[in-house]
Structure 1
Amino acid sequence: MMTKQIRVPATYMRGGTSKGVFFNLSDLPEEAQVSGEARDQLLMRVIGSPDPYAKQIDGMGGATSSTSKTVIVSKSSKEGHDIDYLFGQVAIDKAFVDWSGNCGNLSAAVGPFAIQSGLISKDKLPENGLAEVRIWQANIEKTIVAKVPMVDGEVQELGDFLLDGVTFPAAEIAVEFVDPSSSEGSMFPTGNLIDDLDVPDIGTFNATMISAGIPTIFIDASELGLKGTELQEDINGSDDWLKKFETIRAHGALKMG
């Protein structure tokens, strides 16, 4: 039986060193406007996952973790905020959308998208200058403040701001993460600046574990037998290294609670 395609308005945007597909919540099909399988299935199909070839050829994903992302934005009902921002990290070769964390990079694109989509009251937008957009990050329940440059009543896109990892310059968008820690006010959830992180079958490492929007583990490259100058493909192209880092990540996440 032939299934008719559906039309869903979307915007493909870069924020920082990530790219993703952005949606206005009200533009999604009704069944996808709430969390659940229908929403996940829609977003995975848009991105092109799960793809056993790990290429996402038939989708908007770029076959890397930094380009397999989705964002849903809506007007906020939370006091003191303009919009709600929900981030979905789409797995490339698995049928999974991770809603547990934030994307700091795409946070820079949420404000411009909200303005261009008419989600911000016009009386809050200067003709020229900085528009302050207060964002409720729904995944981690934190406040983000974006300072979006405006020129002639429109979001400024061109500029001379250069960001490491991005080839071309663009407008600079300052982003403030208000009290980003998710550990009762502490960025160091273990209570220590440095811990001994014991990872079975891999080793014990001096690690600094920080929770600020997303849990992160810092380890000196030399302790892993690396130089710290390896390029992305040196790690992403190695199943052995990917498995080691995933195991370290899992044990560190448990230690952080």
Structure 2
Amino acid sequence: MKKKINPIDEQQFYDFFAKNSDLPENYYDFFKDSINNAKSFSIGPYFWFITNNTKMRTERTSENIGQFTPYSKEEWINSDTDFFINLFHPNDRHHIMAAFVFSATLRLQLLREGKTKIRFNYYGRMIDRNGGYRWILLQSPLQIIHNFEIKASLVVVYDLSHFIIQNHPLLSIIDFTDNEVQYFKHIDQGLHKIDTKKPNITNREKDILRLMAQGFNSPEIAEKLFISYNTVENHKSNLRKKTNTKTSAELIAYTMNHSLLVL
């Protein structure tokens, strides 16, 4: 049966996520390890921020956040829901909000079923510091959930402007428990399921993937990892076989959609 996610407005988004209870003052500490580890999993330039759903405000950000949007860190702090949503392209905003609500509802449902190894990737066009729009990958890898309510979230946004990849899905859902990936190619399209086993990627192959995703070519990767050019090419060939992809662009798209590197 086909499923659809209907666009929603700002008030519906706010009503879903806003919570009345309080958070402890030191709740930021809950996210420290994930923030410190973010660089190790990065597929390119990124920034992060922490939202407090009891106030519907952004309360912490990375120091570099002013490099990625037209707004300074000071403008981000204590910003509201509208501030965040208006960062997206006007044609994407209502769809992105609907994807957030849909995935949050699904996450809580799966938690009740005992499934915790779920990953959600969101794709959209977000404004850059020069006022243009580029594709981003957004994840909320860690959330404070109490009584099946999302109280606070760490949000990591990866800049995908250095990729030349067509047809980004709006939302991909990865269930590592059942080895299943679900894509929403468009917000009003039916759900497209793909049964897949997560490929066995070695640590060296992850090093190769990470540098590829950051835009380095084979000679540069060889120099950074102190290995030969042919060794890099062999690793790339093995990765394409494992992921059933034909080009580097397809390999990087697979890497993002299946969360092989990101948090």
Q: Could you tell me the TM-score, scaled by structure 1's length? A: 0.27
Higher relative contact order (CA 8 A, sep 6+): 2
Q: Could you tell me the TM-score, scaled by structure 2's length? A: 0.27
Judging by fraction of residues, say which structure has more helix.
2
Query: Greater CA radius of gyration, 1 or 2?
Result: 1
